[in-house]
A and B are shown apart, each in its own frame.
Chain A
Amino acid sequence: MIYPQPKFSPGGDRYMLIEFGDEMNLDLNFKGQGLAAALADGPIDGVIETAPCFANILIHYEPEVIGYDDLKAEVSRLIEALGPSDDIEMDSRLFYFPTLYLDPWSKECIDDYRAKINPSKEQDPEFVARINGLTDVQQFVRVHSGTEYWAASLGFWPGLAFLMPLDPRCRLTAPKYNPPRTWTPQGTLSMGGMSTAIYPVASPGGYQLFGRTPVPIWDRERRFEEFEGDLCIFRPGDRLKFVPCSMEEYLEVERKVADGSYKYNIVDYQRFSVKNYKRWVSKLDLSVRF
């Protein structure tokens, strides 16, 4: 549900959690990101930082400057002043990521899991296609790559973006692995629940795997200027489009990444208008898949 009033809860002596609802609904994420942007533009004294998540936002504050009750009152006023999410407009960069769907590396990882942990585990792309009522893995690739993704939240690992499809016709869901995998290759595309994520580094994991991008989202050596001194490329409110590519293109980009000559494809002039987005969504025929 969407709560009629936001719910405020304390997290120890320095944090406040504000929940706008308890469902996976982009509109609730827009509210959180809108509030984060408003707090960045017109700071409340004592607010140190914010971290929007799917349907909530965490505020880190300095209690010597502002108490919990005063912060709650000020943030409530700000949420009131922001009005409905329709009025929210935010800068939003758009990234194009070449992506090899149904790649051999995630297949190798799935096969290893089948061999060592769970022989009855269905291949991830086939499994996700089946439970979402799609004809085959080719349709899965069309549907998954047919939309821009919205960076709803970052976390778990620095720079790991939880990406939500903006086109409702491309919504898919997938349960997590149980038990989780012991390893996943860096750059693997994956899904858990309703969100898509790219593994920033090789790591254990539980999301279903179906593709790989050679483009790094994490750069601890700071080799790429597009990171602007940061170690991760994404921030909340970015958009990402996966562009299906061939193995040859994948390897070419991988070579360029390795020698440092790769240039990120980033569009950086657009603002995301919730009102315009909703108007577009309202005109779509949701019964159509790609």
Chain B
Amino acid sequence: MMFEVIKAGLETAIQDWPGRIGYWNKGFPPSGPMDSWSFRLANLLVGNAPGVPGLECQFIGPTLRFLADGIIALTGGDMQAKLDDQPCPQWQSLAVQAGQVLTLSFAKTGARGYIAFAGGIDAPLLMGSRSTFHKAGVGGLDGYALKAGQSVAVLPGQGRPGRRVKDGARPTIRTDKRWEVEAVAGPNDDWIDAEGHARFLSADWKVSSKSDRTGFRLEGPQWTFTARAYNKLPEHGSEPANILDQGYPLGAINLAGQTPIILVNDGPSMGGFINPYTVPSCAFWKLAQARPGDVLNFKAVSVAEAQAQARALKQVCSEASIE
């Protein structure tokens, strides 16, 4: 199977899951799909293992022409897909024929849509993954998001049409512009005072338009700090939120001065700002589908609760969710 890119969309890139793991000590982010729930279900629908390479489409999806018959599935944000002139349903596997054109437009719900192809996209393996880290020109076909005119090869697959995601097994993409996002306190929660914690957990945090796969910038109230943020050695830096450079967990809510930035799939591995909270892996899909202007409300969860939710999500991202 093979397809040709007619229009690339805003930033449509090859991703696999869990991505480029094992190079955090050199500063390589994992990349991979931000909404791995939708991504994994798309792969399962077309008979693939959950992690094989597919496409992540951001805000405005691509237009693709199929050069051979195959099986595909669309999940994630609703990009109003059409196959030739016919509306193309999400959350189920479909047969496509050579010559047919799949057109995705802007996301009507959510922000990121996923396309899986039975067999998975064929791209060169680079440092253990085929995921695209667009900003650094790493992975995918040529290091970058897809471009019009490119041909993309798909490996032979075993998929069949008509498989559906069971009701209740797909993520509920909010349409009221408001998301409850889990957050685990730490690693630097002791730099924030009690009022600062209360404010963080009660405030509306608006997703800034300056958000991307590197980080989600949030607009909201001011932060206040404990004595520790002021009584410190000069190597920590001059602002209260500065700390001696430290490793950043993926999902860290990184306080750049007064602006929290949630560090996501293509984010930095270290730096000199505190991370009072970390968004656990089970909530990344919500960030992926939140749009600029949407409001995030954070809910404190313990490490054990976050791990239990990750286990539950893994259960959902399995063959048991397909009918």
Contact = CB atoms under 8 A, between A and B. Distances in A.
A200 to B, nearest CB: 9
A155 interface: yes
Contacts of B251: 11-12
A58 to B, nearest CB: 3
A153 B270 contact: yes
B236 A51 contact: no
B176 interface: no
Interface stretch (B20-28, B85-93, B113-121, B219-227): B20-28
Given A10-B278, A154-B26, A53 B245 contact: yes
A24 B235 contact: yes
B233 A23 contact: yes
A12 B279 CA distance: 6
B250 A15 contact: yes
Nearest to A9: B187
Nearest to B275: A11
Interface stretch (B40-48, B167-175, B303-311): B303-311
B250 A154 contact: no
Interface size class of B (residues with CB under 8 A): 35 or more
A244 interface: no
A52 to B, nearest CB: 7
Contact of A156 (B27, B184, B235): B27
Interface stretch (A92-100, A115-123, A127-135, A157-165): A157-165
Contacts, number: 173
Interface in A1-47: 9-15, 17, 19, 22-24, 36
Interface string A208-231: 000000000000100000000111
Given A49-B22, A155-B268, A11 B278 contact: yes
Contacts of B268: 155-157
Contacts of A63: 307, 310
A234 B304 CA distance: 36
A48 B21 contact: yes
A17 B187 contact: yes
Contacts of B236: 22
A14 B247 contact: no
B111 to A, nearest CB: 22
Contact of A158 (B23, B184, B232, B249): B23
Interface string B123-135: 0000100000100
Given A11-B249, A12-B184, A51 B270 contact: yes
A224 to B, nearest CB: 16
Contact of B25 (A13, A14, A160, A236): A236
B57 interface: no
Contacts of B25: 36, 49-52, 154, 235-236
A23 B269 contact: no
Contact of B249 (A15, A64, A230, A235): A15
Q: Give the dominant DSSP class at A's interface.
A: loop
Contact of B306 (A12, A51, A231): A12
A67 interface: yes
A219 to B, nearest CB: 11
A9 B188 contact: yes
A220 B270 contact: no
Interface size class of A (residues with CB under 8 A): 35 or more
Contacts of B238: 175
B209 interface: no
A10 B303 contact: yes
B307 A159 contact: no
Nearest to A176: B237
B143 interface: yes
A232 interface: yes
B296 interface: no
Interface in B132-160: 133, 136-138, 143
B103 interface: no
Given A11-B252, A235-B26, A162 B278 contact: no
A57 interface: yes
A267 B165 CA distance: 56
A12 to B, nearest CB: 4
Contacts of A15: 187, 249-250, 278
Given A57-B247, A63-B307, A10 B184 contact: yes
Interface string B223-263: 00000000011011110000111111111100000000000
10 contacts: A10-B278, A11-B252, A15-B250, A51-B25, A55-B244, A58-B247, A60-B249, A153-B247, A194-B235, A195-B245
Interface of B: 21-28, 127, 133, 136-138, 143, 184-189, 232-233, 235-238, 243-252, 268-272, 275, 278-282, 303-304, 306-307, 309-311, 314
Q: Which 9 A-B pairs have the closest CB atoms?
A: A11-B249, A58-B247, A15-B249, A155-B270, A9-B187, A12-B278, A13-B306, A155-B27, A155-B269
Given A49-B21, A60-B249, A229-B127, 13 more contacts: A10-B185, A10-B187, A12-B249, A12-B281, A14-B281, A23-B244, A51-B247, A54-B245, A58-B249, A154-B269, A154-B270, A158-B136, A162-B245
Interface of A: 9-15, 17, 19, 22-24, 36, 48-58, 60, 63-64, 67-68, 153-160, 162, 175, 193-195, 201, 220, 229-232, 234-236
